[in-house]
Amino acid sequence: MAYPGSFDHQSSTNPAQLTRGGQLNAAGDARALYLKLFSGEMFKGFQNNTIARDLVMRRTLKGGKSLQFIYTGRTTAEYHTPGNSILGNDQGAPPVAEKTITCDDLLISSAFVYELDEVLSHYDLRSEISRKIGYALAEKYDRLIFRQIAKGARLASPITKSGFVEPGGTQIRVGAGSNESDAFSATALINAFYDAAAAMDEKGVSMDGRVGILNPRQYYALIQQVGENGLVNRDEQGTSRQKGNGVVEIAGIKIYKSMNIPFLGRYGTKYGGTTGETDPGNTGSFVNPAIEDGGGVTGMNNNYGEADSFNASCGLIFQREAAGCVEAIAPQVQVTSGDVSVIYQGDVILGRLAMGADFLNPAACVELHVGETAPAQFGDIYPANTSTTE
């Protein structure tokens, strides 16, 4: 018998209502909102650590494995002779060529989260892991695009019709010495930026969307002399200038810093030798990594160059038409649930994307290098299906 005010677990017809903070409008999957939170953390980690994605031509790939980009060369003007029919020029101009960018295989980053670890953890384990997954995908994304811009800087234009050849890429030496430490000379870098701006002007590259990517120590070498080395925006003070987010400009070129550019055979930085870059010690496993081979590697369907192709490269300057990126699967997250979670008492958290990158307009690509000899071309000059009107 239940007394007034008591609660009988056996006979009550009004059991306590559980508030499920992960449900949408108190219905459906009890973890629905948690998964969305995780997705947001992954996207935040990706967006905060990739800069190349918004600095080049990006297209969504649907219903195919590759995307075609068309080049249209220039034509000429001529005076009309009275009485003559106007039937187009007799040289078949403007010439046209194509460039095809193929999607690479699925790029993933994953982790298994044990449910008991989540229970015992005093912090949000999933959010922390999600950010690191986003970082890993963003790092790879930027590295592939930057390597292709370096490729474009070493090539002629795909428009090769006699008398109508379009401008190709540009390679600029930083400094006049033979040491890798020239890459950190503020004066030499500034001269290189002005040379690059002039070259792109002469080759008819738009001023809109011009950027330069340097490694952190190069960037800081520049801003330490911001009041005396000819930098635009010299009135920008404090944190805005030091974040490296394109505040400082040289010759209309916004300057960013990144640890993902090809730099003297490594990514972002190189210690020892003649680099003039002192190893701070305790750099761990993910700082100063060597560039991996990218030609014919399983999963890579575009040629990103062999490791030794970047031994002298020390910076990039480009305009947004320099490279193209195709995305078949934009950055997204997947998490196991249901029976799988029960069997393994945890969830696999997966971040994935499917993309491919290559250069587009070589004239919009500039590679900075050290040493007397400019880095050589690498990879297929043009895909086999590229056709040029002669």
For 92-109, write each residue's pLDDT tens digit. Answer: 788 888 888 999 999 999
What local confidence, expressed as pLDDT, does residue 244 receive?
56
Q: Specify if 139 maps to a domain.
A: yes
Closest CA to 223 of 206, 193, 248: 248
Query: Sorting pLDDT into bands at 50, 70 and 90, what band is 389?
Result: very low
Q: Specify if 13 maps to a domain.
A: no
**CATH of residue 186:** 3.30.2400.10
Region 332-338 average pLDDT: 86
List strand residue ranges (DSSP E) for 92-190, in order.
Answer: 96-102, 107-114, 170-173
Closest CA to 297 of 147, 157, 118: 147
Could you read off the pLDDT of 177-186 as tens digits, one per residue? 888 999 999 9
166 phi and psi angles, rounded to 5 deg: -85, 155
Question: Which tokens go with 236?
Answer: 């920008």
377 phi and psi angles, rounded to 5 deg: -65, 155
Q: Specify if 325 maps to a domain.
A: yes
Q: Of how many residues is the chain composed?
A: 390
Q: Specify if 288 maps to a domain.
A: yes
Range of 219's domain? 32-73+93-369
Could you read off the pLDDT of 358-367 as tens digits, one per residue? 999 999 999 9
Question: Distance between CA 258 and CA 246 in Å, rounded?
Answer: 11
The residue written with tokens 């810093």 in the block is 257
Q: Specify if 8 maps to a domain.
A: no
Query: Sorting pLDDT into bands at 50, 70 and 90, what band is 383?
Result: very low
Ranges 54-58, 64-68, 90-94: which has the least confidence = 90-94
The residue written with tokens 């031994």 in the block is 311
Q: Specify if 344 maps to a domain.
A: yes
pTM of the model: 0.83
Q: Specify if 262 maps to a domain.
A: yes
* 323-335 vs 346-359, strand pairing mode: antiparallel
Percent share of the chain, pLDDT over 70: 81
Across the beta sheet with 346-359, the strand order is: 57-60, 323-335, 346-359, 107-114
Q: Specify if 6 maps to a domain.
A: no
> Is pLDDT of 380 > 70?
no
> Is pLDDT of 314 > 90?
yes
Best-predicted range by mean pLDDT (125-139, 173-187, 289-303):
173-187
Closest CA to 136 of 323, 311, 333: 333
Q: How far is CA 287 from the centre of its chain?
A: 18
Q: How many domains does the chain have?
A: 1
Q: What DSSP character marks residue 352?
A: E
Question: Distance between CA 51 and CA 47 in Å, rounded?
Answer: 8
Region 36-60 average pLDDT: 79
More confident of the two residues 293 and 212: 212
Element (H, E) at 329: strand 323-335
Question: Which tokens go with 386?
Answer: 């590229």
Query: Sorting pLDDT into bands at 50, 70 and 90, what band is 384?
Result: very low
Element (H, E) at 257: strand 253-257
Question: Distance between CA 293 and CA 305 in Å, rounded?
Answer: 6
Region 144-150 average pLDDT: 96
What local confidence, expressed as pLDDT, does residue 386 receive?
38
Which amino acid, one-letter code, is at 8?
Answer: D
Region 16-29 average pLDDT: 66
